[in-house]
Each structure stands twice: as C-alpha cells, then as structure tokens.
Amino acid sequence: GTGTSWWRTAVIYQVYPRSFADASGDGIGDLPGITAHLDHLVELGVDAVWLSPFYRSPQADAGYDVADYRDVDPLFGTLADADALIARAHELGLRVMVDLVPNHTSDEHEWFQAALAAAPGSPERARYHFRDGRGEHGELPPNNWRSIFGGPAWTRTTAPDGTPGQWYLHLFDSKQPDLDWDNPQVREEFEDVLRFWLDRGVDGFRVDVAHGMVKEPGLPDWDGHVAMIDGTDDGDDVDAVDGSGNHGPMFDQEGVHEIYRAWRKVLDSYDGDRAMVTEAWVEPLSRLARYVRPDEAHQSFNFAFLAAGWDGPALRRVITASYAANDAVGAPTTWVLSNHDVVRHASRLGLDDPTHRPNGIGHGDEQPDAALGLQRARAATLMMLGLPGSAYLYQGEELGLPEHTALDDDIREDPAFFRTGGGERGRDGCRVPLPWSGDAPGLGFSPTGATWLPQPAGWAELALDRQRGREGSTYELYRAALRLRRAERLGSGGLQWLAEPAGEHVLAYRNGDVVVVANLGDVDVPLPADAEVLLASGSDVGAVLAPGTTVWLRAS
Ligand code: ISL
C-alpha cells in the first residue's frame, strides 16, 4: 500500500472487556482492569487496541445489544473510566478503537421501547422493521428469514392488553431488533454517536455486521442460508476467492456503501488520522475490497484468510487474491486469525478440518488435538505477522490459549447456544477470562479470584507471569515477532512469492530483507545451508524445517 497512515501497518489487539481483567472483583472484566494492564500491551509490542462493546446493555449478546451508545455499562465502569483508559493508552503510545453496533439496538434501547408503545405506522416504529404478519390473523412471520443465531428472524409483539400485534425483524437475537437504515433519523443518530466518541479521543471504530445494515426493499423471501466463508474455491459454502454465495437480501446491499462514505467524511473532519474497520462477511475478495475504497472504510477484516485453515494452496490463493483486490483500491490488507466469534486458532488448527465451522458458532463435539493446534497456531501466526499490511490479534492468543471445549451447558451465555436448543455449542469457549498469574486464585484475573466463566485445568502454565521471560514461550514468540516486524518494517513492505521449495504445501515469501517459510505439509523441508534464522515458531530448526513450523530468515 501507499501512504504512511498508522492503520496501514498497525498490529491491533482486540480486548474483550468482560474477559480481559477485572478490577472491581465481581469476576467480570472492566475498564479500570484494562487501564491497569495497558503496559502489558506495550510490552507485547502492539500499536493499538480495539475494545469490544462496553456500552450500557442488558448483555443479551455480551454487549452487542446496546441500550445507550453514549454511556458505559455499570458492569464495566463509567464514562470517566473510559476517558481515563483513552488518556492512559495515548500516554503509552497506543491508539484506541471502539466497537460500533449499528445494525441493531437492544430491545431495551429507548427507541425500541418507544416503538413498542407506539401504534403501527408511527414514526417511532419506522426506525425499525415492523411489519404485519402473514396468514389470516397475521400469525405467520412477514417473511422466511432466519436469525443468524438460529430460529426465525421475526418476533411478534404483544399489546399491553395481551393481543398479538406486529412483528419486528432481528437478524440476531430477539433482544437485538434491526434498525431501518433507510430512515434519516437513524443515519443522523449514528453520525452523532461517532462524533460523541471522536470528541472523547478515540482513534477509530470497528463496525459490527457492516454488511448487513441495509436490506433489500420489500424484504423478499430468501431461500439461501447464512453460509460461512471458507477460503476455498471448491464450490461449497461461500468461496472467498471466486465467490459463490451469501448474497441474500440482508447482506452486502449497494446502499451500505453510502453509509461508509458519510462516516468517512465525519472521520476525516477530525485530525489525527481516525480510522474504521468493517466486519463484513463478504466474498469474493474483490467485492470485500469495495468496503475499503478511498472514500469508505480504512480496513475490512480478511475472514477468508482466517477461514482458509491449515491449507497451503488455499492460503496462497487467499493471500494473492487479497493483495490483488486491495491494491486495486489502494487499501491495506487486514489479517486476522482469531476473535471473540470464532474457535481460537490454537484449537481450530488442531481440528481434523480447520475450515469446519471456523466461525465458531459451534464446533460440534469434535475435540481438537491440543499440541498440534498450538504448534500450528504459532506457525500460522508467524506466517501472518510477516505479511505486509495490518493485523489483528485477539486477547490471549499471545499466550497460546486454546478454546475451552468443556464448559457446562448451564453456565453458557451465548444466545446462539440457546436459540439452537444447544445444537450450536456457542462462542463462550473463546471468551474465557485471561490468566495473568499462575499462582493466584482465578489466575489473577480478578482481585477476588472470581471469574464469570471457569478457566480450564492447566491454564496456570499459560499464565502471563509463567511465560514472560521464558525462552520459547508463545508470549516471547509474539514479542519477538512484533519487535522484528517493527524493526524490519514488514507492515509496509511488499510480498514476493518465492519458488515453492518443496511443493504446494510450503509457503515461502520474501518481504524486504526477511524471507518467511511456512511448512504446512507433512515432510521436512530443506533450508539453505547458510540461512540466518531470525525467528522460528518451533524449537528444532536446523538444516530442515519440520512440518507445522514457520521460520523467518535473513534474506541473502
Ligand atoms: O453474517 C454473518 C455471516 O454472513 C455472521 O457471521 C455475522 O456477521 C457475525 O455473526 C456478526 O458478529 C458480530 O455481530 C453479532 C455479535 O454477536 C458478534 O459478537 C459480533 O462480532 C451481533 O451483534
């Protein structure tokens, strides 16, 4: 890419507030807990943090159901705590991005409460999608859409006197009614919310469900299903590279781009290079690149990369197609391997088929191979961090944390679990409170030892204080990679594929003065005899590179 803006090359660390660090002692992470641990992120070597939602919310979807976009939920602290966090981060040289959830509000948002109290056809209802039902008595949903969390995407309202009324649309939980983005009041409101947080000093926004806000007029029936991007071109599911699906009437409508053009103007009216990243599950990559045209968003998560799993040819295809698509619009690529919605990559890559349900709303009962998963995760991370562009890390991946695959059903909180009657295992397994200290109760997450979800047995060994300074630990591997990435300016470099040293399951590329070789196959790969090893994901790198290992070499 061109230009020197920070977001073109930044490594951005996702903080999931409820599970990062708890200062209050209630077992739920909070803003003061984050502020107290920001120096950890400086030591790690990232450039910025993105905070998942901490706004006032009944927590039906862990804060992705916002009741007040301009206030902090008491669970997480106060607005003053948010100000203090931003100020401290800036003092430490870290940028701060916050989450914006514009597709839907909470049903407890004052707008939705007013809509419920108002009559059909009223301006209050016109901010959402209220419709009469089908059938003789309106007893059937207005169309056949399904919620992404399972079940119908419509819920019928009930008048105070008990008579059933209109239905409202929710692509997610019934406590997350979708806003009608054709309504000018909705547009004005969110531009104002952007300004509210920009005025408080945030450096940017992560935009939730960025491909879903605008719906096709008339809300027509759709027989497709919400499929997962899988990074292959084999014609099943959604194929990120050649493109084959996921174009329902609720996704990737032309009208969303108008919203990003308007928001870009708001961001550009502030100094300090403010940026937004869109969460858009859109394919093919050339279509995703339309979200990062020069007058729209700055970045868009590359989920095709995440979903390509542990497959050399698929990764090579996705990487090549990503640069082609983004170079055409002058945007950086935005690599990602884990987040709060997917199976952690230290476990995902230990599954028989890592592309199987990468988007983690459920992974059946298949148990990953933990050792293989961690080995591959370390290799995948080095492969990613050597690539030009920006990268997102999810809290805990720097500790090599696995998915918690043995949570009791009765302590799960993900609405996707409940809406499918337990058919989907849900995303709680990647949201377990972080282990800071191997000897403390609750592994140092909270001063009382409380944790809102239990940590799996064996996590003491993964605690930050056990890994810090220990040669070969995953934490020290991440630190070394981020240090080298910065020193070698890998983020702003260029990718040059090298001839495959040992077939299509080995990825080898040059970026500046560094050569990256990743062995995704199952046989040893010879390395050049005089190669200077800068960094390796595994311990025994010599004349050969073992399967499941990535190495950074000094280019000769
Ligand atoms: O639309 C999809 C597939 O085409 C989904 O993958 C969808 O984009 C994804 O589930 C959206 O996730 C985000 O919004 C949800 C929230 O539960 C997630 O945590 C958040 O990341 C609803 O706000």
Q: What is the pTM of this model?
A: 0.96
- Please give the number of the atom of ligand 1 that sits closest to the Cα of 280: 8
CA 133 to each of CA 136, 142, 358: distance values in angstroms, whole numbers, following the listed order = 9, 5, 35
Q: Smallest Cα–Cα separation from 76: which of 93, 90, 59, 60?
A: 59
pLDDT of the residue at 536: 98
Residue 208 near ligand 1, beta carbon < 6 Å: yes
Residue located nearest, by CA, to atom 16 of ligand 1: 64
Say which residues have a Cβ less than 8 Å from residue 53's Cβ, sequence separation at least 6.
Answer: 17, 62, 63, 64, 66, 99, 101
Beta strand 275-278 with 204-207 is parallel
What are the structure tokens assigned to 136, written together?
Answer: 């003789």
Residue 128 pairs in a beta bridge with 179
Three-state DSSP class for residue 193:
helix
What average pLDDT values come out for the chain (556 residues) when binned by 10 residues? 82 98 98 98 98 98 98 98 98 98 98 97 98 96 93 93 95 97 98 98 98 96 71 51 66 96 98 97 92 98 92 95 97 96 92 64 69 97 98 98 92 89 86 98 98 96 98 98 98 92 90 97 91 93 93 94
* DSSP H or E stretch at residue 87: helix 79-91
> Does the beta carbon of 246 lie inside 6 Å of ligand 1?
yes
CA of 64 to the centre of ligand 1 (A): 9
Q: Quickly tell me which residue has 């009437």 as its tokens.
A: 249
Nearest-CA residue for ligand 1 atom 18 is 341
CB atoms within 10 A of CB 364: 11
Query: Ligand 1 test: best mutation among 148, 171, 206, most atoms within 8 Å of CB?
Result: 148
* Phi, psi (rounded to 5 degrees) for 189: -60, -45
277: Cβ below 6 Å to ligand 1?
no
Question: How does DSSP assign 329-374, residue by residue?
Answer: HT---EEES--TTS--HHHHTTSSSTTSSTT-S--TTPPP-HHHHH
Angstrom distance (rounded) from CA 467 to CA 474: 7
CA of 467 to the centre of ligand 1 (A): 33
Please state whether 332 falls in left (phi above 0), alpha (psi between -120 and 50) or beta.
beta
CA 209 – ligand 1 centroid, Å: 6
Residue 542: its pLDDT value, please? Answer: 84
**pLDDT at 244 (0 to 100):** 47
Residue of the CA atom closest to atom 11 of ligand 1: 209
| Ligand 1 contacts CB of residue 203 (under 6 A) | no
Q: What pLDDT sits at residue 251?
A: 93
**Cβ–Cβ < 8 Å for 485, 385:** yes
Choose the residue to mutate in 57, 64, 174, 206 for probing ligand 1, maximizing ligand atoms within 8 Å of C-beta: 64
Q: How far is the CA of 360 from the centre of ligand 1 (A)?
A: 11
- pLDDT value of position 60: 98
Nearest CA to ligand 1 atom 12: 209
In the chain the domains, ranked by start, together with CATH numbers, are 6-103+183-478 (3.20.20.80), 110-169 (3.90.400.10), 495-554 (2.60.40.1180)
Query: How far apart are the CA of 447 and the centre of ligand 1, in A?
Result: 32
Q: Is 26 a catalytic residue?
A: no
Q: What is the ipTM of this complex?
A: 0.96
How many angstroms separate the alpha carbon of residue 279 from the centre of ligand 1? 8
**39 included as an active-site residue:** no
With tokens 């419709």, the residue in question is: 131
Token code pair at residue 550: 């990535």
